[in-house]
């Protein structure tokens, strides 16, 4: 079967991409504006380079053309914290994708505990085992609803119990496949 993207609806393009290019990691992003802590997941997310340590997250504008809170907060404050979620946090991650007014925090509404561990960066999800503390680099104008952000990782938190005595990191991040999630990923050599 050959699918011609010229003849596919936006929804079919999305489902085709997300069921072929997978698993996609999920950037579960905390940002802060005044006292309001915002949290939302994004799976158009991938690392770009390790020197410098850059990654990209592609955030769409809302249907009405306004910016999502995560995008607006990153552009305003130039920092964000990307939490990497494990399976126990899946319910919280899905809840936090609800589109709420700017002044309502997903963390408060859904009782998702956060902790401030680094000055100058938004808090991380308290039960996450890993978080990337990032600075804004630039956006890319694609001329459509998506506006990818390039971010530079400045510091990484890794839960001590996830690092073995040889300094190898063992995380069990969840990923996205189509509209579903991948948990318990098995590594093979």
Ligand X SMILES: Cc1cc2nc3c(=O)[nH]c(=O)nc-3n(C[C@H](O)[C@H](O)[C@H](O)COP(=O)(O)O)c2cc1C
| Residues in touch with ligand X (CB under 6 A) | 26, 38, 40-44, 58-60, 68-70, 94, 97, 99, 176
Whole-angstrom distance, CA of residue 99 vs CA of residue 19: 24
Minimum separation from the CB atom of position 145 to ligand X (A): 8
Pick between residue 107 and residue 130 the one whose CB is nearest to ligand X.
107
Pick between residue 32 and residue 43 the one whose CB is nearest to ligand X.
43
Minimum separation from the CB atom of position 153 to ligand X (A): 18
Pick between residue 53 and residue 175 the one whose CB is nearest to ligand X.
175
Whole-angstrom distance, CA of residue 39 vs CA of residue 109: 11
Whole-angstrom distance, CA of residue 108 vs CA of residue 86: 20
Pick between residue 62 and residue 116 the one whose CB is nearest to ligand X.
62
- Under a CB-based contact definition with an 8 Å cutoff, are residues 161 and 171 in contact? no
Minimum separation from the CB atom of position 14 to ligand X (A): 10
- Under a CB-based contact definition with an 8 Å cutoff, are residues 47 and 27 in contact? no
Minimum separation from the CB atom of position 31 to ligand X (A): 8
Cβ-count burial of 166 within 10 angstroms (0-12 exposed, 13-18 middle, 19+ buried)? exposed
Pick between residue 119 and residue 179 the one whose CB is nearest to ligand X.
179
Minimum separation from the CB atom of position 72 to ligand X (A): 8
């Amino acid at each position: 079967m050959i699918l011609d993207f010229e003849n596919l609806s936006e929804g079919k393009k999305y489902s085709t991409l997300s069921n072929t290019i997978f698993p996609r990691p999920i950037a579960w992003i905390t940002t802060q504006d005044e006292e309001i802590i915002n949290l939302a997941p994004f799976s158009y997310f991938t690392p770009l380079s390790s020197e410098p340590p850059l990654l990209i997250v592609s955030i769409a504008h809302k249907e009405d053309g306004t910016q999502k809170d995560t995008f607006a907060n990153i552009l305003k404050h130039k920092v964000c914290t990307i939490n990497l979620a494990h399976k126990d946090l899946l319910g919280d991650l899905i809840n936090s994708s609800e589109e709420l007014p700017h002044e309502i925090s997903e963390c408060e509404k859904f009782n998702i505990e956060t902790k401030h561990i680094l000055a100058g960066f938004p808090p991380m999800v308290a039960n996450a085992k890993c978080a990337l503390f990032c600075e804004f680099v630039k956006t890319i104008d694609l001329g459509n609803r998506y506006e990818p952000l390039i971010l530079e990782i400045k510091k990484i938190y890794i839960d001590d119990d996830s690092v073995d005595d040889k300094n190898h990191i063992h995380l069990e991040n969840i990923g996205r496949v189509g509209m579903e999630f991948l948990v318990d990923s098995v590594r093979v050599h």
